[in-house]
Structure 1
Amino acid sequence: MPDVDSGSGALLSPVDAGSAELVMQLQDLLADNADVQEFLAELSRVASVELSLPDNPISCGVTVLRRKKPLTVANSDERSRILDEVQNSYGDGPCLTALRVGAIISVPDVKTETRWPDYMRSTEACDVKSILSVPMDVRNSGKAVLNFYSSRIQGFSDESILAAQSVAEEAARALHLALKIAQLNELTDNLSAALETRTTIATAVGIIMAENRCSREKAFQILVDASSHRNTKMHTLAEGVIGRVAGDHDKAPDFDE
């Protein structure tokens, strides 16, 4: 039986890689979904299908915490979405505990579970009788966990827990890459924004130089002083200068030396 935390905080033990079919599915997901949120939504659906049986359909949610930023959540269906959101509103539960301690958290029967009593009552209202939360090792990209929900008491056998752990391990590899791609995209966007701001300010400085017949240093200081006096960002003022010259009166506040 895999190592499962039923309250002891035991660490995950290594599990062999999942099937080649699952690996291919995750690779296809990553190739088809450049956006992390879309990737997570597809991942939750794949994980749900992997663990579901004809007599035991499983709902799945994916929770990600990046650089201590707010939780990103994706879900296979409405039931898992509601339960993940409720748990986040309480600030604790199987999923958040799995994130915190890095261990599988199993709740075989929500009625007899003594941890997180408020959240357990909420799960009953959604016809959930057992829960399994499996953390994913995404290395330095953040923290992530797969949340599985079943309408059956003891809905997760030893075999299904092993399957969930295998899915989590394979998904972690793809998610790590997806998060790295997202970080690179963020850096690119930030660089583009910085270059755009720099170009706008440089253009405005050139206009001020021409209008006031002054040096670049003096023109730049005029823009700095105006930004300070008006408590307005330099980029916004620079856009106003350019807008005035271009005849865009909506973006052209009065600008005197």
Structure 2
Amino acid sequence: MEVQGRAFLQPVGTESAELVMQLQDLLADNADVQEFLTELSRMASEQLSLPDNPISCGVTVLRRKKPLTVASSDERSRTLDEVQNSYGDGPCLTALRDGAIISVAEVENETRWPDYMRAAESCDVQSILSVPMDVRNSGKAVLNLYSPRVRGFSEDSILAAQDVAEEAARALHLALKIAQLNELKDNLSAALESRTTIATAVGIIMAENRCSRETAFQILVDASSHRNTKMHTLAEGVIGRVAGDHDKAPDFDE
């Protein structure tokens, strides 16, 4: 493999420390994972580009077998990532699946993924590098890099891309964990809201029927079963009726 010199980010020293600080700031400023990934791809593109070799960057995340989440530094990387996903295979998806670095030194002469290589050529891409990111148990992720130059990724630049991917993976792992915690908090809030609504409806049924809490709750359970309606929806109807909200579900016969 041709060695072009240390053209990219140095993996140690001041530039590496600055990268870590930038990622920390990035995470602090972007609580939303999609926004974080977009800014991460832009930052990686800046870190790994040269005046004569501008690198486009995309980040692809597969989380809990959900659809791929893609963020891009520019239109070129966004188009290529979307085309690859539509084909269902390519260097990025292979790296994501196998957990190995995939390098395409010359798009024109690459025999793997011929349809996708033609699409890459049409976007003025001559070489591709896909670097897996270790986000541990948070999912799978890969850094997708596109160069307009043949053999645009030297041995040294591949090592530099690995350094960027390694540092970015730590921040991405934390971002995904934060997203999971936010989802858990939202689910708990929804559960508490539902529980409060049901408890209020049970209190109304107790007052109206002069019955115990257990009997009132059973009335709500039976109505939910007979009407094939969620208890929370029925409870909202009971509260809405008492509050005079005619848009809520109608009352039911106890």
Q: TM-score, normalised by structure 2?
A: 0.92
| Aligned: 1:108 with 2:94 | no
Deviation at 1:254, TM superposition (A): 3.0
Amino acid across the alignment from 2:224: S
- Selected match of 1:193 from 190, 197, 220: 190
Cα shift readout 1:132-181 (whole Å, capped 9, x = no counterpart):
00001111111111000111111111221111111001101111111111
Amino acid across the alignment from 2:130: S
Question: Corresponding residue for 1:9?
Answer: none
Amino acid across the alignment from 1:74: A
- Selected match of 1:86 from 83, 86, 108: 83
237-246 vs 116-125, which moves further = 116-125
Indicate the SS of the match to 1:57: coil
Question: Corresponding residue for 1:242?
Answer: 239
Question: Corresponding residue for 1:161?
Answer: 158
Amino acid across the alignment from 2:236: E
Structure 1: segments with no counterpart, 5+ residues: 2-14
- Rounded to whole Å, the distance in 2 between the matches of 1:164 and 1:187 is 34
Indicate the SS of the match to 2:247: helix
Amino acid across the alignment from 1:211: E
Cα shift readout 1:232-253 (whole Å, capped 9, x = no counterpart):
1111111111111111100132
Cα shift readout 1:25-73 (whole Å, capped 9, x = no counterpart):
1111011111111111110001001111111111100011111111111
- Rounded to whole Å, the distance in 2 between the matches of 1:120 and 1:58 is 17
Structure 2: segments with no counterpart, 5+ residues: 2-10
- % identical equivalent positions: 88
| Aligned: 1:61 with 2:87 | no
Question: Corresponding residue for 1:96?
Answer: 93
| Aligned: 1:43 with 2:57 | no
Question: Corresponding residue for 2:175?
Answer: 178
Deviation at 1:78, TM superposition (A): 1.1
Deviation at 1:210, TM superposition (A): 1.1
- Rounded to whole Å, the distance in 2 between the matches of 1:147 and 1:244 is 56
Amino acid across the alignment from 2:250: P
Give the RMSD, CA atoms, in angstroms.
1.5
| Aligned: 1:214 with 2:214 | no
Deviation at 1:16, TM superposition (A): 6.4
- Selected match of 2:73 from 66, 72, 76: 76
Deviation at 1:88, TM superposition (A): 1.1
Cα shift readout 1:200-225 (whole Å, capped 9, x = no counterpart):
01111111111112221221111112
Amino acid across the alignment from 2:38: A
Q: TM-score, normalised by structure 1?
A: 0.91
Amino acid across the alignment from 2:105: P
Indicate the SS of the match to 1:145: strand
